[in-house]
Amino acid sequence: MINIKVIKYKKTFAKHLSKALVFAMILMLCGCAQDKNDNTVDNSKGTGKDSVQSNGTGTNDPSADASSGNESLSNALVKYSHTSGFYDDPITLELTAATNDKLFYTTDGSDPRTSETAVEYSEPLALGSRDNDKNVVSAVDPNLFETAHARFSAGELKSYVKAPSDSAVDKCHVIKTALQTADGKWSDVYSGTYFIGPAENHIEGLSKFLEAGGESLAVISITTDYDNFFDYETGIYVKGPLFEQSWAEYIENGGAHTDDAGRKLLANYSARGREWERECHIEMLECGENETKTVISQSCGIRIQGNYSRSDLQKSFRLTARDDYGDKRFRYKIFGEDSPSSYKTVVLRNGGNSAFGAKLNDPFWQSLARDAELDISTQKSRPAVVYLNGEYWGLYVLQEDYSSEYFEDHYDVDSDDVVLYKGDAETIDIGYKLDIGEIPTDAEEQSDRYYYLPLIGFFETHDDLADKESYDEFCTLVDPDSVRDYFAFETYINNKWDWPGKNWSMWKTNTVIPGNEYNDGRWRFCLFDIEFGGISGSGDSGTNTIKEDNNMPYGLLDRDTENIAVLCFAYLMTNREFRNSFYDRLRELDTGVMVFNNANGRLNELKDLYEPFFDQFFERYPGSGSTDEAMNNKYYASAACIRLFLFDRSVHIEEIIKYCENTESSFGY
């Protein structure tokens, strides 16, 4: 029996080789696949007998992994004697190959097909406590990957926070396996995640979370080669050479010597596109009161997600299921029984601008928007605890992603027919980018403006929407109810700073199909990254968002702007019928979901679900804050700030309506 603690972690420098198609005779071995419903561990007993599946369905998609250089056996099963989960006592893990091929495994999260640390399996593995193990990925110096907690001194920008101590980082075992045939063909990668000791010993606050009404906690184990994240040249989590170059240019050009100077500079972690996606394997465990079950276990792509928060200590991830890695979907109802049965992409969000605040800010506001049944898209979410290569990586918000598949799943439209824009006037000259969809190769204009051209043309030929004919024509391009609901909600919560220059999104279908109201080719709005709502507490409650946002003389009513989203609203507000409808919606929010007792009740519900995990989170990220500050401070991003904002906001809504009416009347509308 091998005690796996003697297998030391090494950085993997081996390069992936390519895979070819599987042989049909090998596929005949696939009949041994286990049923997904057997993949359950009873925490009270700490035992399991079923095989760990390579995805949540109990079967593998038989596609080759294009990032690996040998041919795939596809579904060459490896049986694990214990399922992933929590075990009160040490276990002895037996691995069994379904064929006579060689079985290799790793314990450091790396790919056993390419890793220097891969070991050929010869005897059972003893999995015991990892309490005294050293940090590996958690030991990386924050100076290498973050600038959010930096100080400028003597011409250098250095992070003032330190890596956590070994004892501050909980750890679990990750056992990744693969089979290799005599002629060099490799199977897919299989993985098991094992916590030795009661669940509460690993995830502090789990009991309080369950007592507060959490049905189960999403525990997500991410495993990947160390270099995929932390290699200086190619790692997606670090500053790397991209930052070094951009920093040198910044200093050479006389950039200000401020503490936040590095946050907006290009770095490895801010690079985008498929070339900055890396392969990983994820396991998602549903940890409930009486059982833990594996619901997803598959290889996928991982990228850094977000904008400003990419420079933070804890970064957000986007997970993408692809044929290249195995299954092309995550086949599980991640957000409850009323959610889609599978997902192409999901996001593990650090909380954005409230990453080290309450974290729940965006989920809270989006939940109220859903309750109000507004004609806008929202993202469902839930708390999740993430482990990276067996080390606690922190509390996250597991969230839906606005992919083309999102709109297919929610609105029954063809994902290939969806286009979506995201606003970002800070980094993009035209103020927005095409985030979903492709510009036709034969289009006369090959710019991101392409799908907006009819709307831009309308604005260029119309001064207002006061008359019915102009209004009706505009409504063939844009859904006025979606504009009304979107701007009413953003106004009520006083989303500020980034918005509306950034963080707005509009989608539509390219074709019109009668019978589906969402397949009508009209633009509609999506809520996302709205944690700045009420973020400064009572200091925000009296703000006239219509007047103060948009940095224009007439704020959001100003038609002398190139912001497409604002133009939609500003034009519609010149129409009396729409204006009255907008006022009505603001008042409905005020007397409905935003009533203090209702909204505060929802806030407390989410607080009770997130707060139990904060002590462990802040211990993992020393110097970044505290539970008390995240929950109770009265100046920025806390739960208390949201509460103070809600308490006083209502009395200022009529002031906003009066400003709108006086302004439009002065224009003659």
Whether residue 656 is predicted with pLDDT greater than 80 in this model: the reply is: yes
Q: For the chain, give the percent of residues with pLDDT over 90.
A: 84
Domain count, the chain: 2
- Taking phi first (over 0 means left), then psi (-120 to 50 degrees means alpha), and beta for anything else, what does residue 326 get? left
Gap between the Cα atoms of 602 and 596, Å rounded: 10
Check residue 51 and give its pLDDT.
Answer: 32
Same domain, 317 and 420: no
In a domain, 341, yes or no: no
- Identify whether the C-beta of residue 657 lies closer than 8 Å to the C-beta of residue 557: no
The DSSP H or E segment spanning 232 is none
Position 401 confidence tier, pLDDT thresholds 50, 70, 90:
very high
In a domain, 190, yes or no: yes
Position 61 confidence tier, pLDDT thresholds 50, 70, 90:
very low
Longest Cα–Cα distance in the chain: 85
Across 51-60, 145-154, 166-175, 249-258, the highest mean pLDDT is recorded for 166-175
Residue pLDDT, tens place only, 467-524: 999 999 999 999 999 999 999 999 999 999 999 999 999 999 999 999 999 999 999 9
CA atoms within 13 A on the CB side of 290: 0
Same domain, 304 and 444: no
Same domain, 307 and 433: no
Residue pLDDT, tens place only, 246-262: 999 999 999 988 999 99
Whether residue 13 is predicted with pLDDT greater than 60 in this model: the reply is: no
Check residue 152 and give its pLDDT.
Answer: 86
Query: How much is the average pLDDT of 7-30?
Result: 37
- Identify whether the C-beta of residue 278 lies closer than 8 Å to the C-beta of residue 226: no
Which of 311, 332, 353 is a domain's end point? 332
Position 444 confidence tier, pLDDT thresholds 50, 70, 90:
confident
In a domain, 177, yes or no: yes
- Reference 193, options 326, 337, 41, 315; nearest CA is 41
CA of 52: how far to CAs of 36, 192, 286, 323, 449, in Å? 9, 6, 15, 20, 48
Position 5 confidence tier, pLDDT thresholds 50, 70, 90:
low
Check residue 446 and give its pLDDT.
Answer: 87
In a domain, 339, yes or no: no
Long-range CB contacts for residues 366-372, cutoff 8 Å, separation at least 24: 366/527, 366/530, 367/602, 367/606, 368/593, 368/594, 368/599, 368/602, 369/489, 369/527, 371/593, 371/602, 372/485, 372/489, 372/588, 372/589, 372/592, 372/593
Torsional sign, CA 526, 532, 535, 540: negative
Check residue 497 and give its pLDDT.
Answer: 95
Same domain, 326 and 472: no
The DSSP H or E segment spanning 42 is strand 40-42
- Identify whether the C-beta of residue 194 lies closer than 8 Å to the C-beta of residue 84: yes
In a domain, 470, yes or no: yes
Same domain, 618 and 497: yes
Q: For 4-18, 397-411, 418-432, 650-664, which range has the lowest pLDDT when averaged over its residues?
A: 4-18
Whether residue 27 is predicted with pLDDT greater than 80 in this model: the reply is: no
Query: How much is the average pLDDT of 266-289?
Result: 97
When comparing pLDDT for 667 and 279, which is higher? 279
Domain range for 12: 2-133+171-236+271-332
In a domain, 350, yes or no: no
- pLDDT, mean over the chain: 90
Question: Strand, coil or helix: what is 382?
Answer: strand
Query: Percent helix, strand and coil across the chain, each rounded to 5?
Result: 30, 20, 45
Residue pLDDT, tens place only, 299-345: 999 999 999 999 999 999 999 999 999 999 999 999 999 999 999 99
Same domain, 188 and 58: yes
Whether residue 528 is predicted with pLDDT greater than 90 in this model: the reply is: yes
In a domain, 546, yes or no: yes
Check residue 156 and give its pLDDT.
Answer: 84
Check residue 499 and give its pLDDT.
Answer: 97
Q: Which residues lie below 8 Å from residue 177, measured CB to CB, with a gap of 6+?
A: 78, 80, 95, 103, 104, 105, 112, 121, 189, 190, 191
In a domain, 154, yes or no: no
When comparing pLDDT for 290 and 171, which is higher? 171
Length of the chain: 669
Residue pLDDT, tens place only, 129-165: 999 999 999 999 999 999 999 998 877 899 999 999 9
Position 4 confidence tier, pLDDT thresholds 50, 70, 90:
low
Whether residue 602 is predicted with pLDDT greater than 90 in this model: the reply is: yes
Alpha-helical (H) ranges within 109-212 are 199-202, 206-211
Whether residue 59 is predicted with pLDDT greater than 80 in this model: the reply is: no
Position 575 confidence tier, pLDDT thresholds 50, 70, 90:
very high
Check residue 441 and give its pLDDT.
Answer: 92
- Identify whether the C-beta of residue 595 lies closer than 8 Å to the C-beta of residue 571: no
When comparing pLDDT for 346 and 152, which is higher? 346
Same domain, 298 and 447: no
Check residue 1 and give its pLDDT.
Answer: 75
**Residue 526 pairs with which residues in a beta bridge?**
377, 505
Gap between the Cα atoms of 607 and 605, Å rounded: 5
Alpha-helical (H) ranges within 304-394 are 361-371
Q: What is the DSSP letter of 263?
A: T
When comparing pLDDT for 344 and 41, which is higher? 344
- Identify whether the C-beta of residue 292 lies closer than 8 Å to the C-beta of residue 199: yes
Gap between the Cα atoms of 550 and 646, Å rounded: 23
Which of 294, 314, 332 is a domain's end point? 332
Same domain, 446 and 591: yes
Query: How much is the average pLDDT of 12-38?
Result: 36
Same domain, 214 and 323: yes
Q: For 76-85, 121-130, 330-339, which range has the lowest pLDDT when averaged over its residues?
A: 76-85
**Residue 506 pairs with which residues in a beta bridge?**
421, 525
CA of 241: how far to CAs of 80, 138, 195, 348, 411, in Å? 41, 21, 37, 26, 43
Question: Strand, coil or helix: what is 92?
Answer: strand
